[in-house]
């Protein structure tokens, strides 16, 4: 995605946070994170999105997996994390596509149960499914979604 396209899409997006159940954090600041920080891999993306989903704060992550040469950007398992967390907190997401190196994640409002869960036929059990689409690591995926589930 070209930088100009991202800037144009950001200018029209409402970045104000929306309240979520179980959270009282309110901020209007879009936090900027450079994905090349520290080891510059997918861990920064997974943990950042989880924390921002939990606190209902918008975030812009640039240079995603920037130190992963020759293939930076979102891979299938990172995209699965983004999509699951976006459904879980009704987030608006820009840049959620394979290979994207820029992502804007703006959590939305959740009334009652998160839409990511479906009621099971077993009493008192809720289910959720994540389709990675590749042989991506389920353990790494759990790093992103487990804190949100708990």
* Per-residue pLDDT tens over the stretch 56-80: 999 999 999 888 888 888 888 888 8
Domain 3-149, classified CATH 2.60.40.420, yes or no: no
Task: Give the DSSP letter of residue 126.
Answer: E
Q: Give the closest residue to 87 by CA, choosing from 24, 148, 17.
A: 148
Domain ranges for the chain: 3-149
* Per-residue pLDDT tens over the stretch 100-133: 999 999 998 876 666 565 655 666 666 666 666 6
Q: How many alpha carbons fall within 13 Å on the CB side of residue 12?
A: 5
Tell me, what's the pLDDT at 17? 43
Confidence grade of residue 136 (pLDDT, cut at 50, 70, 90): low
Q: What are phi and psi for residue 34, nearest 5 degrees?
A: -90, 120
């Amino acid at each position: 995605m070209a930088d100009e396209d991202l800037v144009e899409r950001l200018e029209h997006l409402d970045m104000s946070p929306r309240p979520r159940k179980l959270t009282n954090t309110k901020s209007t600041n879009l936090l900027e994170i450079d994905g090349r920080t520290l080891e510059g891999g997918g861990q920064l993306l997974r943990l950042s999105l989880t924390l921002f989903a939990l606190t209902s704060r918008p975030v812009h992550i640039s240079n995603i997996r920037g130190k992963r040469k020759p293939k930076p950007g979102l891979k299938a398992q990172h995209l699965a994390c983004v999509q699951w967390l976006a459904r879980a907190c009704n987030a608006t997401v820009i840049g959620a596509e394979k290979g994207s190196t820029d992502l804007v994640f703006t959590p939305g409002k959740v009334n009652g149960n998160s839409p990511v869960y479906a009621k099971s036929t077993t009493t008192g059990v809720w289910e959720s499914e994540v389709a990675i689409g590749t042989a991506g690591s389920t353990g790494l995926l759990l790093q992103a979604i487990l804190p949100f589930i708990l």
